[in-house]
Structure 1
Amino acid sequence: MKSCEVNFDGLVGPTHNYGGLSYGNVASQSNSQQSSNPKEAALQGLAKMKALMEMGFVQGVLAPQERPDVAALRNLGFAGTDAQVIQQAAKQAMPLLVASCSASSMWVANAATVSPSADTFDGRVHFTAANLNCKYHRSIEHPTTSRVLGAMFADQKHFAHHAALPAVAQFGDEGAANHTRFCRDYGEAGVEFFVFGRSAFDTRYPAPQKYPARQTLEASQAVARLHGLRDDGVVYAQQNPAVIDAGVFHNDVIAVGNGEVLFYHEDAFLNTDQMLRELQGKLGKLGGNFQSICVPRAQVGVEDAVRSYLFNSQLLTRADGSMLLIVPEECRANERVWQYLQGLTSSGGLIREVKVFDLKQSMQNGGGPACLRLRVALNETELAAVNPGVIMTAPLYDTLTQWVDKHYRDSLRETDLADPQLLLECRTALDELTQILKLGSVYPFQIN
Structure 2
Amino acid sequence: MLVEINFDGIVGPSHNYAGLSLGNLAATNNAGMTSRPRDAALEGIAKMRANLRLGLTQGVLPPHDRPDDHWLAALSTRYAEAAPHLKAQALSASPMWAANAATVSPAPDTADGKCHLTVANLVTMPHRSHEWPETLAQLRLAFANPGFTVHDPVPAPFGDEGAANHMRLCERHGDPGIEIFVFGESGGPFPARQRREASEAVARAHRLDPDRTVFAQQSTAAIAAGAFHNDVVAVANERVLFAHELAFDNKDSLYADIAAKAPWSEIIEVPAARVSLADAIRSYLFNAQLVTLPDGSMTLIVPGEARDNGAVWEWLQQMIGGNGPIRHIEVVDVRQSMANGGGPACLRLRVVADPATVDPRFLVDDAKLDRIVAVIEAHWPEEIAIDRIGDPTLIDRIRSARTALLKALDLSDLLTFNQVP
Bin the TM-score by the shorter chain. Answer: over 0.9
Whether 2:156 is the aligned partner of 1:167: answer: yes
> Match of 1:280?
259
Corresponding position of 2:319: 344
The one of 97, 111, 119 aligned to 1:107: 97
1:232-251: CA deviation from partner (whole Å, max 9, x where unpaired): 12011000011101101000
Name the structure 2 match of 1:414: 386
Letter in 2 for 1:86: Y
Once residues 312 and 47 of structure 1 are traced to their aligned partners in structure 2, the CA distance between those partners, rounded to angstroms, is 17
Q: CA-atom RMSD, angstroms?
A: 1.3
**Cα distance change on mapping 1:394 and 1:271 into 2, 3 Å:** same
State the 1:15 CA deviation.
0.3
Does residue 436 (structure 1) correspond to residue 408 (structure 2)? The answer is: yes
Equivalences, count: 420
Deviates more, 1:403-412 or 1:417-426: 417-426
- Residue number in structure 1 paired with 2:397: 425
Find runs of 4+ consecutive structure 1 residues off by over 6 angstroms.
Answer: none
CA distance in 2, matches of 1:32, 1:416: 14
State the Cα deviation string for residues 337-384 of structure 1 (Å, max 9, x = none).
Answer: 1111111111121111111111100000000000000000013xxx21
3-state SS of 1:279 partner: helix
Distance (whole Å) between structure 1 residues aligned to residue 248 and residue 311 of structure 2 = 22
Q: Give the equivalent residue in structure 2 for 1:88.
A: 81
Shift of 1:442: 2.3
Question: How many angstroms does 1:423 deviate by?
Answer: 2.8
Matched, 1:182 2:161: no
Match of 1:140 in 2: 130
Look up the match of 2:272: 297
The corresponding residue for 2:335 is 360
Q: Does 1:25 align with 2:24?
A: yes
Secondary structure (helix, strand or coil) at the match of 1:45 reads: helix
Q: Residue 152 of structure 1 contacts residue 439 of structure 1 at CA under 8 Å; is this kept in 2?
A: no
Partner residue in 2 for 1:202: none
Once the two structures are TM-superposed, the CA of residue 440 in structure 1 deviates from its matched residue by: 4.0
Unaligned runs of 5+ in 1: 79-84, 199-206
Query: Secondary structure of the residue that 2:389 maps to in structure 1?
Result: helix
Instruction: Give the whole-Å Cα distance in 2 for the aligned partners of 1:445 and 1:87.
Output: 16
2:373 is paired with a residue whose SS is: helix
**Identical-residue share of aligned pairs (%):** 48
Shift of 1:430: 2.3
Mapping 1:256-405, distance limit 5 Å: 256-284=235-263, 289-379=264-354, 383-405=355-377
State how far apart, in whole Å, the 2-side matches of 1:34 and 1:125 are: 40
Match of 1:75 in 2: 74
Amino acid at match of 1:88: E
The TM-score, its normalising length taken from structure 2, stands at 0.97
- d(CA) in 2 for partners of 1:86, 1:148: 24
Contact persistence 1:120–1:229 (CA under 8 A): yes
What is the aligned counterpart of 2:198 among 219, 227, 230? 219
1:137 and 1:245 map into 2 onto residues whose CA distance is 21
Q: Alpha-carbon deviation of 1:57?
A: 0.3
Task: Provide the rounded CA distance (Å) in 2 between the counterparts of 1:233 and 1:442.
Answer: 37
User: 2:13, 2:402 within 8 Å by CA — same for their partners in 1?
Assistant: no
